């Protein structure tokens, strides 16, 4: 009999398990974030594979979500950031991408005018999502708060 080894679980695989367990247990991201002791935006990003989790944070999530030890281990692996983790077939993610396509050059030009030549960092970064009531339909206010890093002349 031949046995095919199962590859170790990666961060994106762990994220799929987290999503399934969250749904099965009827948990909210707010409840999970409260257990982790971090903002809901960071906690969600971390459990979806985009931030680094300590062993203690992974074990806290594992306990709350009743995760197998291999999933908890996978949550401590280095994050898989960027395109490999993005699902552009998700309508909301696609629209966010469209917003950058439409307004990216405008934002870039305005940042250069205000700060000079450089970038807005996604490393020293915070994300905030707020729901704002509006008579024409509630609005989502998304704040991207990144440190400006000027290009260095050498």
Fold of the domain built from segment(s) 11-83:
434 Repressor (Amino-terminal Domain) (1.10.260)
Residues recognised as catalytic: 95, 98, 121
- CB count in 10 Å sphere of residue 75: 27
Fold of the domain built from segment(s) 87-150:
Cyanate Lyase; Chain: A, domain 2 (3.30.1160)
Q: Identify which of 11, 18, 9, 7 has the alpha carbon closest to the alpha carbon of residue 78.
A: 11
Single pTM value for the model: 0.76
- Structural domain spans, the chain: 11-83, 87-150
Query: For 19-77, what is each residue's pLDDT tens digit?
Result: 999 999 999 999 999 999 999 999 999 999 989 999 999 999 999 999 999 999 999 99
Q: Are 92 and 38 in contact (CB under 8 A)?
A: no
Q: Are 61 and 18 in contact (CB under 8 A)?
A: yes
Distance CA 61, CA 18 (A): 9
Q: Are 88 and 94 in contact (CB under 8 A)?
A: yes
Q: Could you tell me the pLDDT band of residue 84, with boundaries at 50, 70 and 90?
A: low
């Amino acid at each position: 009999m031949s046995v095919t080894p199962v590859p170790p679980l990666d961060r994106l695989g762990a994220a799929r398990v987290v999503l399934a367990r969250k749904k099965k247990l009827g948990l909210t991201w707010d409840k999970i974030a409260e257990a982790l002791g971090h903002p809901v935006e960071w906690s969600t990003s971390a459990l979806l594979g985009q931030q680094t989790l300590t062993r203690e944070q992974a074990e806290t999530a594992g306990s709350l979500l009743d995760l197998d030890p291999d999933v908890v281990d996978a949550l401590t692996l280095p994050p898989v950031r960027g395109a490999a983790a993005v699902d552009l077939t998700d309508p909301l993610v696609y629209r966010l991408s469209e917003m950058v396509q439409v307004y990216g050059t405008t934002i870039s030009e305005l940042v250069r005018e205000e700060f000079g030549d450089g970038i807005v960092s996604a490393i020293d970064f915070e994300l905030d999502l707020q729901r704002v009531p509006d008579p024409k339909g509630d609005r989502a206010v998304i704040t991207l708060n990144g440190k400006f890093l000027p290009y260095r002349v050498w």
